[in-house]
Amino acid sequence: QVQLVESGGGLVQAGGSLRLSCTASGRSFSSYYVGWFRKMPEKEREFVAAIGSSAGTLDYSDSVKGRFTISRDNTKNTVYLQMNSLKPEDTAVYYCGATSIWGLRRAEAFEYWGPGNQVTVSS
């Protein structure tokens, strides 16, 4: 069992930056494929970025590529999402998820989830 908790969200002006953290407890986290997703009101949860266990595998959605960077520190059981050049359309609840299945973007493939963290970007 893996427990995940997101932190680092908040309110920021357009063009600003935030760094989200996803910290895990429980079973070995370093072997899991970890993804960030976001959910906007009245929309489905959408894929943002994901990272493999050794950080050699990275995946980004087209909407955030070049602005967001995913990374991990396995010594701290933490995955980060550095978000730069934020836009109002990035406003959402951000979730991290973990799965033993690599390479997928479908939320259904992720076994463990954090409770979510609000990010609000003002114009």
33-44 pLDDT tens trace: 999 999 998 999
How are beta strands 18-26 and 10-13 bridged, if at all? Answer: unpaired
CB hemisphere CA count around 35 (13 angstroms): 27
The predicted structure's pLDDT at residue 53: 85
Residue 67 token pair: 């602005």
23-64 pLDDT tens trace: 999 778 889 999 999 999 899 999 999 999 877 899 999 999
